Structure 1
Amino acid sequence: MFRQKIIYVFLGIVVLSLSLTDKNVEATSNPNFQFHSEVALLIDQKSGEILYDQLAEQRMYPASITKIITGIIAIEQGNLEDIVKVSKEATEVIGTRVYLLEDEEVTLEKLVQGLLINSGNDAGTAIAEHMDGSEEAFAKRMNDFVQEEIGVENTNFTNPHGLFDEDHYTTALDMARITQYAMKNETFQEIVSTKDMEWIGEGWETTLYNHHRLLWDYEGTTGVKNGFVSQSGYTLVTSAERDDQEFIAVTLKSANARTAYQDTIQLLNYGFEHFETGKVPENKQFFSDDGEEYIVQEDVYFTQMLDEQIEYELTPANKLAIVGDNDRTIKKVALEQIEVEPILTKAELEEKEAEQGLFTRFWDWVSQLFSK
């Protein structure tokens, strides 16, 4: 079997392997964390690989981390320069607010900032009504978006802000995938990483301070959202980056904010201390034993173990297998075959040129015949 070897030395422990083209996941042992949160998850933001999983597919109530999807939909499918006229219904939403007034006119961008930085429930309702006329209609957009654009299947939203509803639920894994998607958007990144901003509204003038405290307290934090309702407990989604290494941590149903942050820090420390992401660059070439050429069609990210020797193998199905120690398949990737013109001998080349010349003379004769 063809094998091209490239050896890296990395920090790491065994990871769950997730294929771009295959759905088989290799389960591995987890460290013995002492968590206060009922649910916990850590993924590599670039590769998407799961590094720690505690009940990550259990159905849970998200509370205000719901606003991650509301924000990214408004950014991608709305016009941030739109002027939104605030309804009476929006001003009456309970919970955390930015104190919008009835008939106040606010840009959609400012509402998204109030939603994600200050967790304004009234801003969420105003966004939903502006885009779809009602919270119910916007919830349908939310569900269609996460299923069709992101590909999550265990989530159902009934409102844009996360106030409790029996039918408003998600999983830690789905929220990690939603966040992974949202953090690719530069405008979303900028807003959720904003520590403070001046808010000048008709009913409230103040400085908004981001509710995600790790932006101040944990090096490399880049966002994204916290939440609380009594039925969900404290929920927290966090992204952090150091030296081009990026992680997303999700903790759900903590008893208080302090333990949610402690659990998140524990997860992120685990990621930064033990893992690093590798990359197979776009258009990298691979050759089979019989000389056929293949390329990777896009950048491929994968997560490795400590001191792991990485080998690239071409499978019988002509996929690229990224293989670690003990023949552990980390990821399989579809390849594109490059068609190469065969190299002709001098005699074959002369014969081909003669055939082409004969063909050209024939069509010249036909053209002259029909032109008379």
Structure 2
Amino acid sequence: MKKIYGQLTIFLLAIAYFHPTLIHAANLKDERMVTSESAVVMEMNSGQILYEKNSQERLPPASITKIATAIYAIEKGNLEDYVTTSENARNVDGTRVYLEIDEEVPLEKLIQGLLINSGNDAGVAIAEHFSGSVEAFAEELNDFLLEEVGVENTQFKNPHGLYDPMHVTTAEDMAKITQYAMKNDTFKEFFNTINLNWDGEGWDTTLINHHILVRDQSYEGITGGKNGFVDESGFTLVTTATRGSLSLVAVTLNTPYANLAYQDAITLLDYGFTQFENETIFANEPFQSQKEKTFITTTDIAYTKRVGEEVHQQVSENGKLTIVGEDDRLLQSIQLEEVKTKEEEKQLKDQIIYAEEDDDHEGNLLPYFILGAIIFTILMALLFLMQVKKT
């Protein structure tokens, strides 16, 4: 019998060792690297950074600058206004939509030419329309990005991204700028436009989106993108995609070859979609602090966690809700509103108690399932070993 018990012990230890619930994939550190000098992937609903590489390094962005110019023009301007093109806009270097001097073009059309065909002349025309000059527009754009978008490591000197040593941003800032822009339905439409008929005085053609993944829609869930290149910046890329509840933006800066920039973008998006999931705490959800103060959420709160990860929620006595992951990563932090009327507080406390009772009822069944599984495993092991002994 001692031999049987010894074999049984080894058998049960083996089961425990190889049991999949003991393997916490959420604790595994992702070590995949991207080619780009700087990169980031962000979940746009929650604003959480899922992966980063040198994401706060200030680098020249090239034409992804136009994302900022476009959302500024959409929010601050009237899309039906006509813009008169100057000689300065007509003669700008780089990619153009071939505007003519004194050509009158609707602002909406200029923004489309800016994003879809990366028209530098459209960018200068927009800047002069709003501010009178490229320099004045850059100052106003920087103020907008700081005060309304909330980025602090970006300084633009022009609306298009042609190289200037002082024209810099970071991968993280570009993710935040894109996250902000994608809340605007007009921007979202322009950002994901594959082609557009262009009937201009100097150019009659069909504009084709320069971002390959947008152009061929080869990546599942693609929702937009902008590419850039100047010699000093290397290839830069911003790509957005949505699957289910996840909406991601991937940014890469200073990649040596265009194909590597796209491969990095796909790697970042694949990583986000396969490794993470979103959870939502809805508005008016009640929470209690340790001293039984009652607080509620005033809006829906999204947070992103690793697939299958257990999170911990805690409310401080001043109503700050923090959500942390298994490795103590801060997933979300938000201020809740205190409930002060006794009637409202009683109703909410009843909801909390009811929810806890439901959780306890569900949780109390778990030990019985586990105990049953263990007993069944032991019995099967004993029968197996007794059969072996008889033979």
Per the normalisation by structure 1, the TM-score is 0.82
Change over 3 Å in CA distance of 1:289–1:35 after alignment to 2: closer
Confirm or deny: 8 A CA contact 1:12 1:276 kept in the other structure.
Answer: no
Is the alpha carbon distance of 1:328 and 1:155 closer, same or farther for their aligned partners in structure 2, counting shifts above 3 Å? Answer: closer
Q: What does residue 75 of structure 2 align with?
A: 76
**Displacement of 1:308:** 1.7
Q: Letter of the aligned partner of 1:254 in structure 2?
A: T
Residue in structure 2 matched with residue 276 of structure 1 by the alignment = 277
The CA deviation string for residues 313-363 of structure 1, in whole angstroms up to 9 with x for no partner, is 2224432222433665432221111111369xxxxxxxxxxxxxxxxxxxx
Partner SS, residue 95 of structure 2 = coil
Quote the offset at 1:30 in angstroms. 5.2
Query: Residues 326, 136 of structure 1: CA spacing in aligned structure 2 closer, same or farther, 3 A cutoff?
Result: closer
* Structure-1 separation of matches of 2:195 and 2:263: 23
Counterpart of 1:62? 61
User: Who is 2:166 aligned against?
Assistant: 167
Q: Deviations over 1:8-51 (max 9, x none)?
A: xxx9746xxxxxxxxxxxxxx85222422111111111111111
**Structure 2 partner of 1:262:** 263
Distance 1:136 1:319 in 2: 42
Secondary structure at the aligned position of 1:235 is classed as: strand
Q: Does 1:190 align with 2:189?
A: yes
Matched-pair identity in %: 52
Residue 291 of structure 1, CA deviation: 4.7
Partner of 1:25: none
| Distance in 1 between residues matched to 2:158 and 2:276, nearest whole Å | 37
Q: Secondary structure at the match of 1:37?
A: coil
The 3 A distance-change label for structure 1 pair 341 and 156 is: same
Shift of 1:309: 2.1
* Equivalent residue runs for 1:157-306 within 5 Å: 157-215=156-214, 216=216, 217-288=218-289, 291-306=292-307
- CA contact 1:98–1:122 (8 Å) conserved in 2: yes
Instruction: Read off the aligned partner of 1:303 and give its amino acid letter.
Output: T
SS of the residue aligned with 1:325?
coil
**CA positional deviation for 1:277:** 1.2
Partner in structure 1 of residue 310 of structure 2 = 309
C-alpha contact 2:157 2:167 (8 A) present in aligned 1: yes
Tell me how large the CA RMSD over aligned residues is. 1.8
Q: Would the aligned equivalents of 2:298 and 2:337 in 1 still touch at CA under 8 Å?
A: yes
Match of 2:268, SS state, is helix
Unaligned residue ranges in structure 2 (runs of 5+): 1-23, 345-391
Deviations 1:156-199 (A, max 9, x none): 10000000001100111111111110010000000010001101
Larger CA deviation: 293-302 vs 325-334: 325-334
CA distance in 2, matches of 1:123, 1:101: 11
Partner SS for 1:313: strand
Misfit runs of 4+, over 6 Å: none
- In structure 2, relative to structure 1, the CA distance for the partners of 1:296 and 1:92 (3 Å cut) is same
Partner of 2:340: 339
Whether the 8 Å contact between 1:222 and 1:239 is mirrored in structure 2 is yes
Gaps of at least 5 residues in structure 1 are 1-10, 15-28, 344-372
Q: Secondary structure at the match of 2:336?
A: strand
TM-fit CA distance, 1:128 = 0.4
The change in CA–CA distance for 1:162 and 1:328 in structure 2 (over 3 A counts) is: closer
Distance 2:25 2:265 in 1: 19
Which structure has the higher relative contact order (CA within 8 Å, separation 6+)?
1
Equivalent pairs counted in the alignment come to 319
Kindly indicate whether residue 119 of structure 2 is the aligned counterpart of residue 120 of structure 1: yes
Change (3 A) 1:273 1:124: same
Question: Secondary structure at the residue paired with 2:341?
Answer: coil
Contact 1:13 1:275 (8 Å CA) reproduced: no
TM-score w.r.t. the length of structure 2 is 0.78
CA deviation after TM superposition for structure 1 residue 275, in Å: 0.5
